[in-house]
Each structure stands twice: as structure tokens, then as C-alpha cells.
Chain A
């Protein structure tokens, strides 16, 4: 967006930084919810089993790869959509 003064730019950067932290916490939360739900179902013990633990690790790795890949696709698609909307 054009027309932001340096002071306004700084304010915006600060807000975006805060937003990024909040978003990271959301991603983290979703990761825990998702991987716990998918991997943990044995409540005969209060400690994670080896199977559950391994599953969680793989879930984290796969989820991060998914985020990366979808992040790339989203960027491409969003740029295309924005261009199309401006064309209309």
C-alpha cells in the first residue's frame, strides 16, 4: 500500500510482528491437536507409548512439509487470483 509515512510503516511492522507470533501459536496449537488426535488412543497408561511417540514425530515432520508445500501453492494461487481480480 502506498502513502505510508515512516512512522506508519513502523507501526504496521510492529502489528505484523505481533500477528506473526499469534499465528505461530495457532499453527502450534493446531499441530498438537491434530497429531494428538491422530496418534494417541491408548489410555491404559499415562505415558505415551513408543508407537504413539513415533507417530507424533512423523506427524510433526509430515505436517511441516505440508505447511511448506501448501505455503508455496497458496502464494502462487493468491498472486494469480489477485492479478485476475485487478484485471476484471
Chain B
């Protein structure tokens, strides 16, 4: 992973890298839950259980969320490069 001549990452850097990656994933999870709840769950809370419709909606919402994430990531990268590189290190 690290080429010759590059200094080895310190303990702190290795730990920070793992922690940071988990943080990114956790944030995505949290955002997805918030948005899919908003889009799929009946706000009147007449029932304490998920209906079949709500369950299916949640599954589909999650799948679309990931697809949108990937699509946007790809397009943003492409557009950024087309516009001369920009400042994003994606």
C-alpha cells in the first residue's frame, strides 16, 4: 500500500485513518435513516409496527440512496476534472 521511500504512518495516523473511515460510514448511515424515515414512514404513528408498504419503501429507499450516492460521486468527479481539477480531493 505504501511505496518505497514513503515514511511509515505513525500509530496515531493509522488509528485516525480507521476511525475516520468508520465515521464517514456512520454519518452516511445516519443521514440515510433520517431521510428514508421522512420519505417512507407515516408521521401519524397510528401503528407501532412497520406496515408492509413502509418496509418495502425503506428497502427501496436504502437501495436508491446508495445508487444516488454513487452516481453523484461519479458525476462530481467527472465534472470537477472537466472544469480543471478544482479543490476536491475525491
- Chain A contacts for B48, CB-based, 8 A: 57-58, 61-62
If the complex has contacts A19-B19, A66-B33, A69-B55, are A1 and B14 also in contact, measured as CB distance less than 8 A?
Answer: yes
Q: How many residues of B contact A (CB 8 A)?
A: 35
What total count of A-B pairs have CB within 8 Å? 92
Scan residues 46-80 of chain A and give those whose CB is less than 8 A from a CB of chain B: 55, 57-59, 61-63, 65-67, 69-71, 73-74, 77-78, 80
16 pairs, CB–CB < 8 Å, chain A vs chain B: A12-B15, A15-B19, A23-B26, A38-B43, A38-B44, A38-B45, A55-B45, A61-B49, A62-B41, A63-B37, A66-B33, A67-B33, A69-B59, A73-B59, A77-B63, A84-B70
